[in-house]
Each structure stands twice: as structure tokens, then as C-alpha cells.
Amino acid sequence: MTTYAQQAISEIKLKAESAGFRLSDVCRIAEIDQAQVSRWHSGATEPLYGSVRRLEASVDALIAARLKKMSESLEIAGKA
């Protein structure tokens, strides 16, 4: 049986990987130990809701930063 936390972490991982990031990148930004996230994902322990939200916010921040950098690069290339 998959818990809400396991499903949320699976979705965060998929979102990160789809954008070219690893879950370890998300964990680093969220300042959450990757081993702890693995325990949550396996169902060994349950995270606090706030911890899952931090992971979600971190993956969103990584994606936003990449999009901003790509946008800036396109803008510079357009001026050349």
C-alpha cells in the first residue's frame, strides 16, 4: 500500500528527473538528508507534511532557476 508521502516523493522524483535533476539535487536544496528521503520513499518512516512541501518547493525552485537561465541565454543569443 502506497502512502501519501510515498506517492508525493515519487512525483517529486519524476518531476526532478524530467527536468534533468536527480533527487539528490532536490534533497541538497531542501537541506534534507537523501537517506532520510529514501526511508520515507520506502515507507520505513513517515515524513512531516512540511518536509514533503520543502522537497516540492525545492524541485520547483530548481526548475524555475533552469528556466530563467535558459531564458536569459536565449535573450543574449537573440541580441548577438
Grid cell in block for residue 15: 518531476
d(CA 41, CA 23): 11
Phi-psi label, residue 21: left if phi above 0, alpha if psi -120 to 50, beta otherwise = beta
Query: Which CATH number applies to 4-79: 1.10.10, 3.90.1750, 1.20.950, 1.10.260?
Result: 1.10.260
Q: What is the pLDDT of residues 15-59, one digit of tens each?
A: 999 999 999 999 999 999 999 999 999 999 999 999 999 999 999
Map grid coordinates 548577438 to a residue: 80
Q: What's the confidence (pLDDT) of residue 2?
A: 82
Q: Does residue 79 surpass a pLDDT of 80?
A: no
d(CA 29, CA 57): 9
Q: What is the pLDDT of residues 60-74, one digit of tens each?
A: 999 999 999 999 888
Grid cell in block for residue 78: 537573440
Domain ranges of the chain: 4-79
d(CA 67, CA 22): 17
pTM: 0.86
